[in-house]
Amino acid sequence: MTQQSGTQIARMLLAPTGQNNGKPTTSKPQLKQSEASERIIQQLTILAEAFGETMTTARLKIYAAELADLTAEQLAVAFKRARHECRFFPKIAELRELAGAVSPENAAGVEAEAAFQSVIRTLEREGVDFGISHLPKRTQYAVRHCGGLRLFNQRVDQRSYAFLQRDFVEGYKSFTAYKAMVPELSEKGILALPQPVRLYIEGKKPVQKQAQPAAETTFKSKAIPQPLTDTQIQDRREMLRQQAEQIEARRTH
């Protein structure tokens, strides 16, 4: 198989089937996609020649479709590394790894570990009393999956830290499944989180109770004392005079 035959195969695989007045119909996006696929098939054909591998048209089409999301730079790196590093013709997964493409599983793990480190940094900066309500919902769920935020402050050695990180990553990855199962878990009555938390995870605002108006306080004004009459004034003076005599008598005895 030669590079020229690979080009011919590419054109055959990508040839449009629709007709318009006897002429093939293509659009600009299809043309770009066809050119990219043709380049991939050409490189696959060269790689197959280097390994003495026989490539059928169906196999070339499958490889081209599975590698179509990679950039031209990634593909160039993958094919070059395959020629230099592989002992046998590479599978699709091997080519993607050689191109540096990240699998969904690896991407989820990297994201979960980054979220774990963000919790650690928040604790170092704000302290455990700062809470987790400001964190993303997925991170909150992962923290609860570990046993709560205070557990992060209780790690004493590297071994317990590794277990805490493992539990956090598991919780972070399972959040999507948990969120999808919230209605079913609620219906079965086995959902552990309180309703406000469940509503928050579902993206709904918890129903807030309307604040009761404060009871009005009634203040009673004090009565203004009436002025004393002449008789009352005279009686009070007499009482004060007697008290003064009693005090003087105690002082002289």
The DSSP secondary structure of 71-113, one letter per residue, reads -HHHHHHHHHHHHHH-SSPPPHHHHHHHHTPPPHHHHHHHHHH
Q: Distance between CA atoms of 80 and 74, rounded to whole angstroms?
A: 10
55 close to 24: Cβ distance less than 8 angstroms? no
Given this model, what pLDDT does residue 152 score?
Answer: 76
User: Which residues contact residue 127 at a Cβ distance below 8 angstroms, ignoring those fewer than 6 apart?
Assistant: none
With bands split at pLDDT 50, 70 and 90, how would you rate the model's confidence at 250? confident
Given this model, what pLDDT does residue 122 score?
Answer: 83
Tens-digit pLDDT profile for residues 138-162: 888 888 888 887 777 775 566 677 8
Task: Give this prediction's pTM.
Answer: 0.40
Does position 134 have pLDDT exceeding 90, yes or no?
A: no
39 close to 64: Cβ distance less than 8 angstroms? no
Does position 202 have pLDDT exceeding 70, yes or no?
A: no
φ and ψ at residue 94, rounded to 5 degrees: -65, -45
Tell me which amino acid residue 166 is. Answer: R
Q: What is the mean pLDDT of residues 185-201?
A: 62
Q: Distance between CA atoms of 79 and 85, rounded to whole angstroms?
A: 10
Tens-digit pLDDT profile for residues 86-114: 999 999 988 988 888 666 666 777 888 88
